[in-house]
Amino acid sequence: MRKSGNPFGLLLLFVVLSSIMLACNDDDLKNATAISAKKVILSKDRSYGVEIIYSDSAKVKAKGFAPILDQVTPSQGPKYNEMPKGIKINFFDDFLKSTGSITSDYAINKEGEKITIFRKHVVVINDQITFTTEELTWDENKRMYFSPFGTVTTKDGNVVTGTQFSAPQDFSTYNIKDAAAEGYLKDKIAP
């Protein structure tokens, strides 16, 4: 006569297998199928401590520094450069005198479109203004900067906040819509 195994061992095995099966949620399988169907393949080349020099007609116009630069080539679409730890760019005149800077905590350069988007704590400084925003786009073809919103602080302390900011790439002038301003007068107003 054959003796059967331990009934408590079979019960324990049944409980463990049931727990595993319950832990496998049907939604997880659906998500895995959806993710694998996208088949996003890309290559990423990472560089550390990168200095970028922008020149025009053999004259240095800007120097940028990025702690990390990722050159990304997706399986579909154009390649792009991503700076996940931010960037600082210094601008120069024809005599290599500093004329201003841009800093941000993140940036992406879309080479094919000739567009650079700066995000998170974006600060532009020149000798006339300081501009702050959370997103600023440089369109190299138009030689213009655009932002959906932002704040301009002039060197004399006036503050203008608004939407649809635009400026030429040298920030010599700017346009801002739906503006609200706070200004300071230097002289007393006579009664």
Q: Give residue-wise pLDDT tens across range 114-125.
A: 999 999 999 999
What band does 106 get if pLDDT is binned at 50, 70 and 90?
very high
Cβ atoms of 107 and 66 closer than 8 Å: yes
Mean pLDDT of 90-103: 90
Q: What is the pLDDT of residue 2?
A: 46
Cα 56 from Cα 47, distance rounded (Å): 24
* SS3 (DSSP) at 128: coil
**pLDDT at position 67 over 90:** yes
What band does 188 get if pLDDT is binned at 50, 70 and 90?
low
Beta bridge partners of 104: 87
Residue environment code for 155-176, b if the CB has 16+ CB neighbours within 10 A, otherwise e:
eeeeebbbeebbbeeebeebeb
Cα 12 from Cα 14, distance rounded (Å): 5
Quote the pTM value.
0.71
| Terminal CA-CA length for the chain | 118
154-186 pLDDT, tens digit per residue, is 888 888 888 999 999 888 888 888 878 777 666
Residue with more model confidence, 35 or 58: 58
Tokens representing 106? 């993140």
Whose tokens are 């290599």? That residue is 96
Q: What is the pLDDT of residue 124?
A: 93
* Residue among 145, 150, 141 nearest 169 (CA): 145
DSSP string, 134-165: EEEEEETTTTEEEEEEEEEEETTS-EEEEEEE
Cβ atoms of 150 and 137 closer than 8 Å: no
Beta bridge partners of 5: none
Tokens representing 137? 């786009």
Q: What domains sit in the chain, N to C, each tagged with a CATH number?
A: 40-182 (2.60.450.10)
Mean per-residue pLDDT of the chain: 80
**In sequence order, which residues have a C-beta less than 8 Å from that of residue 153 and are 6 or more positions away?**
129, 130, 131, 132, 159
